[in-house]
Chain A
């Protein structure tokens, strides 16, 4: 899909909890097809403190309303400005960027997300179901207060939940959940997105069980479209750009995973 710079208009800002919002925005023209795992680069204000664009995963697209959804967690100046956006505000995007998750036609899939890493798993869950695969979610959060709203995910499959303090679901990390501890061998493929330590733990579990595993990396990016070589990850065939050859990688290709 051809990459483009485009001005979107914010249509809705849906508050999920203290830290997360979902931003709905649409372009003047028709949204192109978006594959799960692809991301956008948002120009926040290009001011002294938010000079570069910010990479954000595509959470979902709604073909009927021509809207793109972005799940944003406030962590610093750039995301704070995004969280404050209101309907009518403009959003300067470069998209669609990156590769995408594999979407097979059948099989049992486990989609493991931690924190804001749950973002691309919604569009992935929908696409997998559309193709005919079986979807199981395992979503982790620090505590109940910042757990993602599960309503949209529920349409595509059952959801296991973990929180570090046990305020919702199983207490602990995603790797403490029976889905990963006991039932992993029933799965055909694992997808994961979230904090580095979590993804590594999921990858180790998948490797141990001999199951294919795709991870979506969140390396620091300056451009997002392959021009700067700042976002590299070490793979078995040398350095690769996370922004163009990723963000989704099969753990078999990554060095040290």
Chain B
């Protein structure tokens, strides 16, 4: 699958690859209302990665349903919508509007958003809020409910167990790590928001560790991501416990990487005489 916020609505990649060749795509973060996002600059390159502060720029869920969905529903792949909000009601209302879309098998709940009613602390770093938003959406949403965890927590397994108990069908992780960059010459921050989300290969070891921990804590499937650049990285995530994987930042450097990763996984399976890809899930050997 491709990761939210890095793959647009799939259309941006149509010149490069056949979208239907992918296992699934997660489209851009969608909120109840239109959002302009954060001011420029929103991006800074860092060692083996990048910081972003896009701030969920999107035209709102109604626009998605009326204008974008009809354009992309012909993709023969699982289209997941990444749902964000600043209150539980916003998440619920956004999810409800996605219920009846035939070609959307599920939503990915992005709980790494500030909860404005709870002092702006992210839903994803406060276990009771994460549980509350998951169960509220579960009550109204009929399709597959994937909950995307934030890595900016002390104990990711507590969050994972919480959302599993609240009715999540699967867990995806990790979202970006909170980071920051400064231009020393100018003594200025590189992002308009000062801090932003770190992604790319620099976060891979953290992501792998969290996938492994969550794999040992819950029973529902895990969709792993964080710095996957090639098929070997993807296989490592499966060995750590991922049932599926998402590719994010790597798409920017090679817009054809997602299909290459699928080919690379097949090649790895042949080389290791593996016939069932599921045998890789959590298949790390420990002596």
Contact = CB atoms under 8 A, between A and B. Distances in A.
A227 interface: yes
Contacts of B49: 51
Contact of A231 (B15, B16, B43): B43
Contacts of B36: 238-239
A183 interface: no
Nearest to A43: B253
B234 to A, nearest CB: 17
A46 B253 contact: yes
Interface string B216-230: 000000000000000
Given A228-B5, A238-B36, 4 more contacts: A94-B255, A222-B249, A227-B13, A232-B42
Interface residues of B, number: 35
Contacts of A160: none
Q: For the complex, would chain B's binding face be called helix, strand, loop or mixed by DSSP majority?
A: loop
Nearest to A221: B43
Interface stretch (B50-58, B96-104, B159-167, B205-213): B50-58
B68 to A, nearest CB: 13
Interface in B1-26: 5-8, 12-13, 15-16
Interface of A: 2-5, 43, 46-49, 51-53, 94, 219-234, 238-239
A51 B253 contact: yes
Contacts of B201: 51
A4 B57 CA distance: 26
B47 A228 contact: no
Which of A94, A221, A225, A229 lies at the interface centre, i.e. has the most chain B CB atoms within 10 A of its CB?
A: A229
A227 B43 contact: no
17 contacts: A4-B15, A5-B254, A48-B48, A51-B49, A53-B252, A222-B249, A225-B12, A225-B255, A226-B12, A227-B7, A227-B252, A228-B43, A228-B52, A229-B28, A230-B54, A232-B42, A233-B40
A5 B43 contact: no
A227 B44 CA distance: 16
Interface of B: 5-8, 12-13, 15-16, 28, 36-37, 39-50, 52, 54, 57, 200-201, 249, 251-256
Nearest to B13: A227
A2 B15 contact: yes
A82 B7 CA distance: 28
Contacts of A238: 36
The 5 closest A-B pairs by CB, nearest first: A230-B43, A223-B252, A3-B15, A227-B12, A227-B8
Given A4-B16, A46-B253, A229 B57 contact: yes
A225 B254 CA distance: 11
Which of A220, A223, A239 lies at the interface centre, i.e. has the most chain B CB atoms within 10 A of its CB?
A: A223
Contacts of A223: 12, 251-252, 255
B243 to A, nearest CB: 25
Given A2-B15, A5-B16, A48 B52 contact: no
A232 B57 contact: yes
B256 A48 contact: no
Nearest to B17: A5
A49 B201 CA distance: 12
A98 B48 CA distance: 26
